[in-house]
Chain A
């Protein structure tokens, strides 16, 4: 199974072209809404990097496994841009399966028989945590009135949740992509509350190229007439075309050229020859259109703006006088980084820059680069070398913590 396969196991190249027609949102009455998910209201207002203060912040979260008596076995799983708190069980709202089924569960590397696993939806997200789709005090959705948030703000919300759950320190914080940024941020904000940190397929800052791709996505959303200056929920519209295009542009950066060539090359979609039209002649076009369209059913366009902005603003070195190693001086956290050879979204070189800084800071760091052609999304897919190395690191770390 790979990223280039539909949910349900239908290989992408068997599908016909899917037109980019925004479907009227038909709420499925049998499914709950994000509002009904498990959440906790933070006891204190949240002070944000932008200077504003958010009152009544709700954080949606899921847990698996049992917290031990000493409360030392908690693992926080941080999700990527389009992820959610359902890393180890199906999402009842979207009906989608767990997003990290090979990694989190009984007997898996993040072993729910051994650890108490917590996953939250990030601040600014759209799966139950306070974000631009949430209602403001005036009863209307926040929309673009929502403050611009940062990765550090997301972590502040997570820290408040973890504290409210009665957990003083985490055994491990783990996450890929934007989740990896949160791991690094946790280690910087609360080094004495993280025993082990596992940043995966991530970077300590967004490159110009990263910002460029996400700006294309944001412009696509904001150019959609249905976006209505961000007030589409109040208008009863949805900027699905823009959001779909945003997803298409971003998705290209999550897969490698060699995987695209292997899966599609220049293959045509259900036809013998090109049609001399702008139909989805090529399989890659059909695939991307599907990726874009299916995304709009499960993600809020304004959340996409806010969360991508948080990533663009992320620059850990910049926040520490320009020297990344200064962010980690004296850190007691045991780090284990993973990068993937064909990842051009957050390249192995970006990962190595983090490792270099951690080594310079005197931190305890391991770093494995996994050889794969699956690109950035490799961390979500079957990569036995990755899984066994991570399992080894966690198991040895658990032993060291006396778990």
Chain B
């Protein structure tokens, strides 16, 4: 099975032997990578019971639950790293979820689509339509936002960016720890690693 580039990139930010919570872990592909490559104590939260069942078959520990309501089962500082991969824009209350992740772990890795990416800006400017692969009313994204918007939310939540990388066409750039303004134009997707401010 091929390993996704964004998973490898996230794994590179996880210290050896860390306790990791992957929120919205799906079938556990990232968790399995973290366990096997980083020796992580990797746990997951997943809303879909079939996906959670697949994660169980990988020998992972996964709790079926909803990130919007069930994160409260995890204790303060219960983990070293909390991961929310491609899910925060699908949340009804992204600010609340981010605050919960900050409570659970001192480091929070979030990946999301950047609606400030210049082709999306151009598409909106030229077509007058929302840049989306599906009709806006079918889109899973409830809260489209730009990279700059996300960094604002993180700041308001008491988080600061430690590093960020951009994902484009399945390729991930190396993480950098400054110059985030450029990401808002250039990045299709962003992987941001936050730490408590």
**Cα distance, A281 to B22, chains bound together (Å):** 54
**Distance in Å: Cβ of B65 to nearest Cβ of chain A:** 8
Please indicate the chain A residues that have their CB under 8 angstroms from the CB of B106 in the complex. Answer: none
Number of chain A residues close to chain B: CB under 8 A: 26
Contact: B54 with A359, CB < 8 Å?
no
Q: Is B37 an interface residue (CB 8 A)?
A: no
Residue contact B53 to A385, C-beta cutoff 8 Å: yes
Contact of A359 among B58, B59, B63 (CB under 8 A): B63
Tell me the bound Cα distance from A334 to B56 in angstroms. Answer: 12
Stretch at the interface among B7-15, B70-78, B139-147, B188-196: B70-78
Give CA–CA (A68, B48) in the complex, Å. Answer: 37
A29 to chain B, nearest CB (A): 48
> For residue B61, which residues in chain A have a CB less than 8 angstroms away from its CB?
334, 364-366
Q: Are B53 and A388 in contact (CB under 8 A)?
A: yes
Contact A389 B53 (CB under 8 A): yes
Name the A residues within 8 Å of B49 (CB-CB): 368-371, 385, 389
Number of interface residues of B (CB under 8 A): 20
Residues of B within 8 A of A369 (CB): 49, 64-65
A392 adjacent to chain B (CB < 8 Å):
yes
CA distance A367 to B75 in the complex (A): 17
A-B residue pairs in contact (CB < 8 Å), sample of 23:
A336-B56, A352-B70, A355-B63, A359-B63, A359-B74, A359-B78, A364-B61, A366-B52, A367-B63, A367-B64, A368-B49, A368-B53, A368-B56, A368-B62, A368-B64, A369-B49, A385-B49, A388-B57, A389-B53, A389-B57, A392-B56, A395-B57, A396-B56
CB contact list, B57-104 vs A, under 8 A:
57-65, 70, 73-75, 78
Say whether chain A's binding surface is mostly helix, strand, loop, or mixed: helix
Q: Which of A353-375 contact B (CB under 8 A)?
A: 355-356, 359-360, 364-371
Is A399 interfacial (CB 8 A cutoff)?
A: yes
CA distance in complex: A359, B61 (Å): 11
Task: A368 to B73: give the CA distance in the assembly, Å.
Answer: 14
Residues of the B chain whose Cβ atoms lie less than 8 Å from the Cβ of A336: 56
Q: Say if the beta carbon of A397 comes within 8 Å of chain B.
A: yes
Question: When the two chains form their complex, are residues B57 and A356 in contact, meaning their CB atoms are under 8 A apart?
Answer: no
Contact B52 A397, beta carbon cutoff 8 Å: no
Q: Are A389 and B56 interface neighbours, CB within 8 A?
A: yes
The 8 A-B pairs with the shortest beta carbon distances in the complex, nearest first, are A392-B57, A396-B59, A389-B53, A356-B73, A392-B56, A393-B56, A367-B63, A368-B64
Question: Which has the most chain B C-beta neighbours within 10 Å: A352, A393, A399, A400?
Answer: A393
Least CB separation from A394: chain B residue: B56
Query: Closest residue to B44 on the A side, CB-wise?
Result: A366
A365 to B50, CA, bound (A): 17
Question: For A391, what are the chain B residues with a Cβ–Cβ distance below 8 Å?
Answer: 57
Interface set of A (CB-CB < 8 Å, partner B): 334, 336, 352, 355-356, 359-360, 364-371, 385, 388-389, 391-393, 395-397, 399-400
Q: What sequence of 0s and 1s flags, for each residue 41-55 of chain B, a beta carbon within 8 Å of any chain A beta carbon?
A: 000000001101110
Assembly CA distance A359 to B65 (angstroms): 13
Knowing A359-B75, A385-B50, A385-B53, say if A366 contacts B63 (CB, 8 Å).
yes
Q: How far is A400 from B54 in the complex, measured between Cα atoms in Å?
A: 17
Inter-chain contacts of A364 with B (CB < 8 A)? 61
A395 to B75, CA, bound (A): 29
Contacts of A370 in B (CB 8 A): 49
Query: What separation, in Å, do the CA atoms of A378 and B49 have in the docked complex?
Result: 15
Asked if B57 contacts A396 (CB within 8 A), the reply is yes
Known contacts being A359-B63, A359-B75, is A396 close to B53, with CB within 8 Å?
no
Q: Which residues of A contact B73 (CB under 8 A)?
A: 352, 355-356, 359-360
Whether B52 pairs with A389 at a CB distance below 8 angstroms is yes
**Cβ of A389: which chain B residues have Cβ within 8 Å of it?**
49, 52-53, 56-57
Do residues A397 and B63 form an inter-chain contact, with CB atoms below 8 A?
A: no
CB <8 Å contact, A392 and B63: no
Q: What residues on A are CB-neighbors of B65 within 8 Å?
A: 352, 367, 369
Name the A residues within 8 Å of B53 (CB-CB): 368, 385, 388-389, 392
Please report the C-alpha to C-alpha distance between residue A400 and residue B60 in the assembled complex, in whole angstroms: 11
Distance in Å: Cβ of B44 to nearest Cβ of chain A: 9
State A366–B70 Cα separation when bound (angstroms).
14
Please name 16 further chain A to chain B contacts, defined as beta carbons within 8 Å, in addition to the given A359-B73, A393-B56, sorted by A numbering: A359-B78, A365-B63, A366-B61, A366-B63, A368-B49, A368-B62, A371-B49, A385-B50, A392-B54, A392-B56, A392-B57, A396-B57, A396-B59, A396-B60, A397-B59, A399-B59
